[in-house]
Structure 1
Amino acid sequence: MMTDEPRSLPPRHGRLWPVFVPSALLLLAAIGWSGFWFYATHEVDAQFQGWQEREAKSGRVYDCSRREIGGFPFRFEVRCADPTISLAAQTAQQFASKIPLTAKLSEILAVAQIYDPTRVIAEFKGPATVEETGQAPFARANWSLGHASAAGLPSVPKRISMEFKDPVVERFVDGAAAPFFSAKQVEWHIRMVEGEFNDHPVLESVLRSEDASVQGVHPVLEAPFNETLHVKLRGLTDFAPKTWPERFREIQTNGGGIDVTESRIQQGETIAVAAGTLALTPAGYLEGQLQMTIAGFERIVPALGLEKALAEGAQPTNVAPGVSSQDVNKMIDSLDRIIPGLGRVARKNANAGLIAGLNLIGQQTTLENRPARAITLRFVDGAILLGPLRVAQTPPLF
């Protein structure tokens, strides 16, 4: 009996398109993403050039020996090699001299994430040298970390922050480097808090420093101190590209001013806080007053050298404009009317005399649970007056 042989079935061909389609879609997505990224980098480069043009109109010219754009696939990077920053007319003195300053760094790297291109973080690599354009450097700066961040489009920034860790600044004196400034950390923030970019903006600025020290200016600044300065600028018409002297002149013309909402300095056991409003005179000098409270007032007097102002024959340069050394002597004499003989003691001990005299002007109070004096710090044509005595002179702002 014969049995039928089993028939051989034709081979079945599997459907392979489900395997290739996802790969093809992934490839198309990669090509599309790459095209988008390269298009976006072109826009980033255009924004960078627009920012350069805006800064140049404000007297700040940025240039690179080589500029590279990278960061593919998820962010944008603009790397500026050997950058130079030329600063023209950024202060009243510079505006008058017409001599720009040039700062040279090692590198600036700016980074933006592709999902938030309006937030840019930049890193600065030192050292940096500063010179009057065409001259030998007169200062050198370095830091362990220096970076900045900006929110908003480059043409319409809403907030800018800068931070430097372990900054050190040296001056060149007769070709040799001499220490000038150092700190553990310095940070600066500025943002728009009122108005619109092109309609009377009000700017808020905060400057902080930790363990800062300044050498070669005044002995009182050489010991480390912590400082916070919080101010508002009122009176700007807009935030179009301008130099800072032009902005300050605009503030004066519009009747604006500088609101010092918080100022705090601590140096060892001495703490000073101040707040108030300052205006600008037609000549560009600060005018107004700050209400200051000082804990450790007795340490401030010898540190500033004010006791010399009350010694016999005090020089008029130590007193307020319009106040003669005779007026200062009369202030000491007035102590005799309170306690007979106190004026004579004051002349023998100028420091004690100054403290007693200023105590008549200020009021006893407390600051952070410590005994303190509340004193009015006045600004008259840029001169800083502590009572009847001139302790410093500020330069014009335009």
Structure 2
Amino acid sequence: MEKRIIILGAVVLVVVLAWTGGWYFAAGQIRQQVDALALADGEAAPQLTCRELAIGGFPFRFDLQCSDAAILSGDVLVELPHFRASVMVYRPNHVLASAVGPARIADAFTGLKQEMSWTEIEASLRLESWRIARISIVGNDLAWSDTLFGNSLIARTPHVEMHLLDMPEMHDATAGRAALALFARAADVEVPAIELTAVNAEIETEITGLRDDIRAWGARPFLPDWQQAGGRLRLAGLRASDGVSDLSADGELGLDAQGYPTGSISIDSLGVAERIGPFIDEPWRTLVLGVAGEDARHQNQLNFAAGGMSSGLVPVAAIPSLF
């Protein structure tokens, strides 16, 4: 009996040592990958730097914590006091993340300086066979401000959420293409500049023609690849209302071989034209929202083709190629 106990203890010790060694090896690999992001040029690939980087969570979890994070992409710099990402050892395809604000945003080209604050924000990413199964972001008490001169509130909301979901019925395994559905909503939005308060808004869209394996997303330029696959962006519904005014929109857009948007979007609104009247001059307001009918509702269709946007048959603006 004593011999069996010794053998069992030895086996347990070997397993514990192997698990510990495996965990620390994996943690080292994660650190190397994050450190490599600091060497990116910020142009071809975003650059991420952390004043302090820690990997914890032993023995069943990996917790990555980055303090005083700076993310540089082109001319845009985003600074965060702290963010954290966690993944369970036995479920490496599911990542949970959170961040401490405020986030400071600066654009070296335009001189823009803004700040985004919140009391709580959490995100979740789940993959299945390297295909996006679900991405969710939920935030509370968000405030977006312009900080170039003082601190001017742009918008705020007590709650916002966004969910990006796989559409398995539209997955083409042979072509390696997937489709995603997006749902997002914001409650009691306040926009002081246009005197909007207590606005509830939501959007539903579907995006088809995406590469199903996210590891292949950087292999070719994203938009040309999406266009060649016949990708479409379908706006199933955009709805916003403050109880007095409301706006809804739907339509479908794609890209032609030259990278110009093609398709149309229909807009229906009540009271919106009057609300934005002091901020958008005619004829632009009518060209976008349309003329009011007998029921006081404005209806219009915006068409996109050949590098331009038209209101019905009336040209409104030139749209540059997206690639």
Q: Give the Å deviation of 1:134.
A: 9.3
Distance 1:86 1:106, change over 3 A: same
Q: Do structure 1's residue 119 and structure 2's residue 105 form an aligned pair?
A: no
Q: Give the Å deviation of 1:285.
A: 5.7
CA distance in structure 1 between the partners assigned to 2:172 and 2:191 by the alignment:
37
CA distance in structure 1 between the partners assigned to 2:219 and 2:299 by the alignment:
35
Q: Which runs of 5+ in 1 are unaligned?
A: 1-14, 89-99, 310-314, 322-327, 329-353, 365-371
CA distance in structure 1 between the partners assigned to 2:319 and 2:138 by the alignment:
26
Distance 1:205 1:40, change over 3 A: same
Partner of 1:225: 199
Instruction: Report sequence identity in percent.
Output: 22
Q: 1:32-111 maps to which residues of 2 (within 5 A)?
A: 32-45=18-31, 59-88=45-74, 100-111=75-86
Structure number with the higher helix fraction is 1
Whichever residue aligns with residue 274 of structure 2, its letter is P
Partner of 1:11: none
Q: Give the Å deviation of 1:264.
A: 2.0
**Which of 277, 301, 309 is 1:305 aligned to?**
277
Deviations 1:333-390 (A, max 9, x none): xxxxxxxxxxxxxxxxxxxxx53xx34xxxx8xxxxxxx9694432346657499897
Q: Give the Å deviation of 1:143.
A: 0.9
Whichever residue aligns with residue 172 of structure 1, its letter is T
Matched length: 314
Q: Give the Å deviation of 1:182.
A: 0.9
**Which of 379, 383, 397 is 2:303 aligned to?**
379
Conserved? CA contact 2:223–2:322, under 8 Å: yes
CA distance in structure 1 between the partners assigned to 2:60 and 2:131 by the alignment:
24
Distance 1:161 1:243, change over 3 A: farther
CA distance in structure 1 between the partners assigned to 2:180 and 2:37 by the alignment:
20
**Which of 237, 260, 264 is 2:239 aligned to?**
264
Distance 1:257 1:126, change over 3 A: same
**Which of 180, 184, 188 is 1:207 aligned to?**
184
Structure number with the higher strand fraction is 2
* 3-state DSSP of counterpart to 1:268: coil
Deviations 1:181-232 (A, max 9, x none): 211122223344333598333333222222223343xx26x32312221212
**Which of 138, 143, 149 is 2:124 aligned to?**
149
Conserved? CA contact 1:160–1:190, under 8 Å: yes
Whichever residue aligns with residue 227 of structure 1, its letter is A
Deviations 1:298-321 (A, max 9, x none): x33422329x98xxxxx5545549
**Which of 165, 178, 195 is 2:140 aligned to?**
165
Q: Give the Å deviation of 1:177.
A: 0.9
Q: Which runs of 5+ in 2 are unaligned?
A: none
